[in-house]
């Protein structure tokens, strides 16, 4: 069971130039994303209504996408605009369309009831628009269920073990960090502060720290993405009071979009204020990308074990408080979505 | 559900020299085809009755096939003729045999009730015997259901899209062609005539046409194969009145034999009267083989989509009239085959 | 359904040096085998109780194994000894452990009720301890059900066909061998004697036979392994009266351990008294290893056919008497194991 009435990250704007198309399965449903010659986005069921040919095997033709088998064309609303050799167009010749919106260089798709799709509810990500920041979009295909990825991101105590060779650092420091978990509406926020820490080498390289630093890790979940804001300022210069512009920061947007119940589109970006001097932002991008490959290996090993021991149980630990809140929130939303309306009235 | 009481193309005569054997699954049942040293054909269940070893892993021994595990031997009727070290031969030691007949250099197999197998009902294909024609046998394994292949062959309007780079030619011409569909007994015939057309380059190369031509495409379905006769004569020289010997023609026999419900043995031959001068027949063979690889890609993409959206619907278009008739015919035959006899008497 | 209350071969002692771990699935259950730094063996469910991470992806840490995801540690009894950042350790944090014992350089595991695991019932294999013998351990992964392997080993009439190019020899000789099958408690013994035979080349090479020999093949099944003792003495020198030390012998221990219902851990060793002169024991090891690869090909072809024709039947022949007894014994043990205790009382 997937949450449907929510905006999912479908890709980045740059993935679809005018005239391009892309086949991706979301929530078990094959979808073709395309951008018309005129620049408009479309998201249609990726199955021609005639003989089930994937439309993503075809081509964009003007404001439509054309099936490669018998040449049927469909516009961004899924209306069939042409059936070669067959006029008038048969009444049943159409395919399902999905609401699709571009915002902050991210493409968002709505897999639920179209009438409920409100673009105003799309999560914003201003770092993609801020000229003081540089950023990089990435796509990873993960052979693991999306909720394992949420768990992973909400509990950063795994850094000491999974990322010991990269960003991990000292295990004890991670476990001693001051951690706060709060739920605000449809968001779960985990805040971890490590005041007066020793700077890891990446931080020193990127920001030129020479003394102690005040570090933060701020994780924000909302269905279904996780934004992780990490960074540091020189100790005692106001990092925990909101004055951070003089420090070093990275903001990773983790789009967590189910492909099937066992595979996930992990569509993420990394933004930093480290600047482009000596290519320091590229170094940050590469280090984060390598770190996330380590997570991928863990997630896929978990999924294999879960798949072959389906009756196995899970035990929650103290570090899981963030993912525990996220799961409760998701469960409540899913129940609200699947509850029949008439039962709600009684 | 497969139609069983029908002759299916199992292969070509040349596939089995004396002493050779070949394991192939038909209608979900593994079969070993073999030719004895004396030249006789056998078709047996490809599973030794002793310990389920595929007989196709063994070898032809005289007039029998010998299992490679414990040496049991079976003749072309499936009778066990030898159990090394075990005399007399146990009463239950036999395997199922299937009727198998060679005709016109094609090997035909009957997967239904043996008593109903009448060799006189085998479709003939005289082009394989005619010295004025040359021909070439080919085997493609298709990861798609057999009925998608029948659809493909019965609606040639796909030429303009799938084969745009090979034999496709002008789309509008295909859609404007004069098309007739008739059902005659267990056959469905689709006839498309394109009088006074411009000769495609292949045709000009093969037959030396310099002016306008009268083209034909004649498609003949019978369970379960499709014969496609295409060609042209100089315009106004009698092509549509039956005088075609002076023109250029190709006859493709498409044997459509289900392997499983999602995979198909596509056993086909191409015959032409183009002659062997300058290897022109070889050019025709190669072009058709490349064209059919384009169809294979389409069929396999369709099957993947159908498999992952099993509740999806199909919409028929004008071009589907031929395949619509073929499906109705197949459905009627299948119903007749599966109807209990006593119900038929009431 | 697997027999559970029995000792299975899990590996060889040399497979696990101190600090090493090994993930293997037994009877469909993933298990991590490990040897602590102090030299103790552990066998635990290969799934961390926290988030299902395979423990075999982690590392041995002292007397425990540590999960690679969040650093939980478990000792050889499955008790959680550490949860980084989480004190006290949650009551539900433990994983299942399995009895595991090392004997005669073989590691044995008990997948059934731990209370019933009696190390005294472990089959002994003194050839691994005898200084007059040399031996070699091998692991093959087989894509076939374990019972097909038992069948294979209990009926050596297949030598004439499967191993015609290696150890097979003359077919008629195998079928004419004097064969005795007896059941003794939980063992089935098949004895085949070939007195006054011609020495196969391997035998002549290994033992320097120049004249006729008295050969033996003695197969001993107990749940679930097969010990095959083969060899020869010069004819008339007492081989069948128990005087064999002057002859040539090979003892193969075939550990037959189900991985899943369609795959098997084939963990075997070959021991010989041929001596190490001119590397003759190595030649014997290599020849047997090549022979068993031939069996593997047969078993996997059988399994493929059985899987795709699940309703197929089997016919027993005279040579199956040994495996027939083994199957009856296994069936009786399985029934005893699965019968509810209270039903037994009525």
Taking a C-beta distance cutoff of 8 angstroms, is the pair C45, C65 a contact? no
Q: What is the pLDDT of residue A168?
A: 64
Mutation pick from A159, A164, A315, A327 vs chain C, by most beta carbons of C within 10 Å, is: A315
How many alpha carbons fall within 13 Å on the CB side of residue C225? 22
User: C110-119: long-range contacts (C-beta < 8 A, 24 or more apart)?
Assistant: C110/C5, C110/C6, C110/C7, C110/C8, C111/C2, C111/C4, C111/C8, C111/C26, C111/C27, C111/C29, C112/C4, C112/C5, C112/C6, C112/C337, C113/C4, C113/C5, C116/C5, C117/C5, C117/C7
Residue B75, pLDDT score = 98
Question: Helix (H, G, I), strand (E, B), or coil: what is residue B159?
Answer: helix
Please state the rounded mean pLDDT for residues B260-267. Answer: 98
Query: Which chain C residue lies closest to B85 (C-alpha atoms)?
Result: C175
Which helix or strand (DSSP H or E) is residue A154 part of? helix A146-154
Which of B52, B85, B86 is nearest residue C302 as measured by Cβ atoms? B52
Residues on chain C touching B84 (C-beta within 8 angstroms): 157, 160, 171, 175
Chain B interface includes A69 (CB < 8 A): yes
Q: Among residues of chain B, what percentage have pLDDT more than 90?
A: 80
- Give the tens place of pLDDT for each residue, A43-65: 999 999 999 999 999 999 999 99
* pLDDT above 70 coverage of chain B, percent: 95
- Asked if the Cβ–Cβ distance from B68 to C318 is below 8 Å, we say no
3-state SS class at A182 = strand
Q: What is the pLDDT of residue B278?
A: 84
Structure confidence at residue C182 as a pLDDT band (50, 70, 90): very high
- pLDDT value at A346 more than 90: no
- Between CA B15 and CA B33 the distance in angstroms is 10
Q: Yes or no: say if B309 and B303 are a contact pair by the CB < 8 Å rule.
A: no
Determine the average pLDDT of the residues in A205-220.
Answer: 91
Q: Hey, is the C-beta of B160 within 8 angstroms of any chain A C-beta?
A: yes
Closest residue to A69, CB basis, from B174, B175, B298: B298
Distance CA C41, CA C118 (A): 17
Contact indicator for A127, A133 with CB cutoff of 8 Å? yes
The mean pLDDT value for B284-310 works out to: 95
Q: Could you tell me if C23 lies within 8 Å of chain A, comparing CB atoms?
A: no
Confidence of residue B169 (pLDDT cuts 50, 70, 90): low
Determine the pLDDT at residue B152: 95
Task: Give the distance from residue C29's alpha carbon to the nearest chain A alpha carbon, in angstroms.
Answer: 8
Q: How confident is the model at residue B45 (pLDDT cuts 50, 70, 90)?
A: very high
The HSE-up count of residue B189 (CA atoms within 13 Å, CB side) is 10
Question: Are C67 and A302 spatial neighbours (Cβ–Cβ below 8 Å)?
Answer: no
pLDDT of C169 reads: 62
- Across residues A65-77, what is the average pLDDT? 97
* CB contact B317 to A (< 8 Å): yes
Is residue A152 within 8 A of residue A221, CB to CB? The reply is no
Q: Going edge to edge, which strands form the sheet with B100-103? A: B7-12, B106-110, B100-103
The confidence score (pLDDT) of residue B86 equals: 78
Residue C202 confidence class, pLDDT cut points 50, 70, 90: confident
Q: What is the mean pLDDT of residues B227-248?
A: 94
Euclidean distance between CA atoms A102 and A108, whole angstroms: 6
Nearest to C92 among A174, A309, A315 (CB): A315
pLDDT of residue A341: 61
The listed range with the strongest mean pLDDT (A189-203, A326-340, C88-102) is: C88-102
The alpha carbon of residue A316 is apart from the nearest alpha carbon of chain C, in Å, by: 6
For each of the domains in chain A, give its residue range(s) and CATH number, in order of start: 7-120 (2.102.10.10), 126-335 (3.90.380.10)
Say if residue C211's pLDDT is above 80: yes
Q: Is C89 on the interface with A (CB under 8 A)?
A: no
In angstroms, what CA-CA distances link A184 with A221, A322, C32? 10, 12, 42
In DSSP terms, C181 is beta-bridged to C190
What mean pLDDT comes out for the span B134-157? 95
How confident is the model over C247-298, as pLDDT tens digits? 999 999 999 999 999 999 999 999 999 988 888 899 889 989 999 999 999 9
Q: Does C294 touch chain B (CB under 8 A)?
A: no
Q: What is the largest CA-CA distance in chain B?
A: 76
Tell me the chain B residues in contact with residue C160 when contact means C-beta distances shorter than 8 Å. Answer: 71, 84
Q: Tell me: the pLDDT tens digits for A229-241?
A: 999 999 999 999 9
Q: What is the mean pLDDT of residues B271-280?
A: 90
Closest CA to C174 of A281, B70, A290, B133: B70
- Say what percent of chain C tops pLDDT 90: 81
Q: Which of B47, B57, B85 faces C312 most closely, judged by CB atoms?
A: B47
Mean pLDDT of C69-91: 93
pLDDT bracket for residue C199 (50, 70, 90): confident
pLDDT of residue A169: 62
Separation CA C295–CA B70 (nearest Å): 12
**pTM for the whole thing?**
0.92
A83 touches chain B (CB under 8 A): yes
B163 inside 8 A of chain A by CB = no
Running DSSP on this structure, what letter comes out for residue A165? T
SS3 per-residue string spanning chain C: CCCCCCEEEEEEHHHCCCCCEEEEEECCEEEEEEECCCCCEEEEECCCCCCCCCHHHCEEECCEEECCCCCCEEECCCEEEECCCCCCCCCCCECCECCEEEECCEEEEECCCHHHCCHHHCCCCHHHCCCCCEEEEEEEEECCCHHHHHHHHHCHHHHHHHCCCCCCCCHHHHHHCEEEEEEECCEEEEEEEEEEECCCHHHHHHHCCCCCEEEEEEEEEECCEEEEEEEEEECCCCHHHCCCCCCEEEEEEEEEEECCCCCEEEEEEEEECCCCHHHHHHHHHHHHHHHHHHHHHHHHHHHHHHHHCCCCCCCCCHHHHHHHHHHHHHHHHHHHHHCCHHHHHC
Cα distance between residue A101 and residue A121, in whole Å: 11
Chain B partners (3+ C-beta pairs within 8 A): A, C
Residue indicated by tokens 């295409």: B230
Question: What is the 3-class SS of A22-57, one letter each residue?
Answer: EEEEECCEEEEEEECCCCCEEEEECCCCCCCCCHHH
Helix residue spans in chain B (DSSP H): 146-154, 159-162, 171-176, 201-207, 280-308, 321-338, 341-345
Question: Mean pLDDT throughout B25-49?
Answer: 98
Contacts of A304 in chain C (CB under 8 A): 54
Nearest CA-CA distance, residue B188 and chain A, Å: 20
User: Structure tokens of C316?
Assistant: 């027993």
Q: Considering only CB atoms, which chain A residues are within 8 Å of C51?
A: 148, 151, 302, 314
Q: For residue B30, what pLDDT is reported?
A: 98
Does the distance separating the beta carbons of B305 and A70 come in below 8 Å? no
pLDDT digits (tens, 9 = 90+) for A228-272: 999 999 999 999 998 999 999 999 999 999 999 999 999 999 999
pLDDT value at C87 more than 70: yes
pLDDT band for C171, please (50, 70, 90 cuts). Answer: low
A262 near B CB under 8 A: no
Strand order in the sheet with A106-110: A7-12, A106-110, A100-103
Query: Which of A154-168, B33-47, C68-82, C209-223 has the least mean pLDDT?
Result: A154-168
Average pLDDT of span C18-44: 98
pLDDT grade, residue C22 (50/70/90)?
very high
Binned at pLDDT 50, 70 and 90, residue B346 comes out as very low
Q: What is the ipTM of this complex?
A: 0.92
Give the residue with greater pLDDT, C338 vs C51: C51
Contact between chains at B47 and C309 (C-beta distance less than 8 A):
yes
| Residue in B160, B171, B315 closest to A50 by CB | B315
B311 CB within 8 Å of a chain A CB: no
Q: Which chains touch C (3 or more CB pairs under 8 A)?
A: A, B
What number is the average pLDDT over the span C19-23? 98
- Please write the tens of the pLDDT for every residue from B105-128: 999 999 999 999 999 999 999 999
pLDDT of residue B341: 62
Residue A207 predicted with pLDDT over 90: no
Q: Is B174 part of the contact surface with chain A (CB cutoff 8 Å)?
A: yes
Question: For the residues B95-114, what does the mean pLDDT come to?
Answer: 97
Q: What is the pLDDT of residue A176?
A: 72
- What integer pLDDT is reported at residue A342 of this predicted model? 52
Residue B191 — pLDDT band, cuts 50, 70, 90?
very high
**Is a pLDDT exceeding 60 seen at residue C343?**
no
For B301, the closest of A54, A85, A86 (CB atoms) is A54
Task: Kindly list the strands in the beta sheet with B187-197, ordered across the sheet, starting from the edge strand earlier in the chain.
Answer: B134-142, B264-272, B248-258, B225-234, B213-222, B187-197, B178-184
The rounded mean pLDDT for chain A is: 93
Q: Specify the higher pLDDT residue, A200 or A78.
A: A78
Q: Where in B143-247 does DSSP place strands (E)?
A: 178-184, 187-197, 213-222, 225-234
C46: chain A residues, CB-CB within 8 Å: 305
Structure confidence by residue, pLDDT tens digits, C281-290? 998 899 899 9
């Amino acid at each position: 069971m997937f949450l449907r009435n929510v905006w999912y990250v479908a890709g980045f704007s740059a993935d679809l130039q005018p005239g391009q198309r892309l086949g991706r399965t979301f929530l078990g449903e094959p979808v073709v994303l395309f951008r018309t010659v005129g620049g408009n986005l479309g998201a249609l069921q990726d199955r021609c209504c005639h003989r089930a040919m994937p439309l993503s095997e075809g081509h964009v033709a003007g404001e439509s996408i054309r099936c490669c088998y018998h040449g049927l064309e469909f516009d961004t609303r899924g209306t069939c605009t042409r059936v070669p050799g067959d006029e008038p167009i048969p009444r049943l010749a159409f395919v399902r369309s999905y609401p699709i919106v571009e915002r902050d260089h991210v493409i968002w798709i709505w897999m639920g009831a179209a009438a409920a799709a409100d673009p105003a509810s799309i999560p914003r990500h201003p770092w993609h628009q801020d000229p003081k920041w540089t950023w990089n979009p990435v796509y990873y295909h993960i052979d693991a269920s999306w909720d394992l990825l949420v768990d992973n991101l909400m509990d950063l105590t795994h850094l000491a073990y999974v990322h010991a060779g990269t960003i991990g650092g000292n295990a004890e420091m991670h476990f001693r960090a001051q951690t706060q978990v709060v739920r605000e509406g449809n968001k779960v926020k985990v805040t971890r502060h490590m005041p007066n820490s020793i700077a890891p080498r990446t931080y020193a390289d990127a920001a030129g720290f020479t003394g102690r630093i005040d570090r933060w890790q701020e994780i924000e979940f909302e269905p279904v993405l996780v934004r992780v804001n990490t960074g540091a300022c020189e100790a005692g210069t106001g990092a925990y009071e909101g004055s951070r512009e003089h420090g070093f920061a990275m903001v990773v947007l983790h789009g967590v979009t189910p492909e099937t119940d066992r595979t996930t589109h992990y569509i993420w970006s990394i933004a930093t204020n480290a600047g482009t001097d000596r290519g320091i932002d590229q170094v940050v991008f590469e280090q984060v990308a390598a770190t996330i490959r380590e997570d991928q290996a863990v997630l896929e090993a978990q999924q294999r074990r879960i798949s072959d021991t389906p009756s196995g149980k899970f035990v929650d630990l103290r570090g899981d408080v963030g993912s525990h809140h996220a799961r409760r929130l998701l469960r409540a939303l899913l129940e609200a979505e699947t509850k029949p309306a008439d039962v709600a009235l009684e």
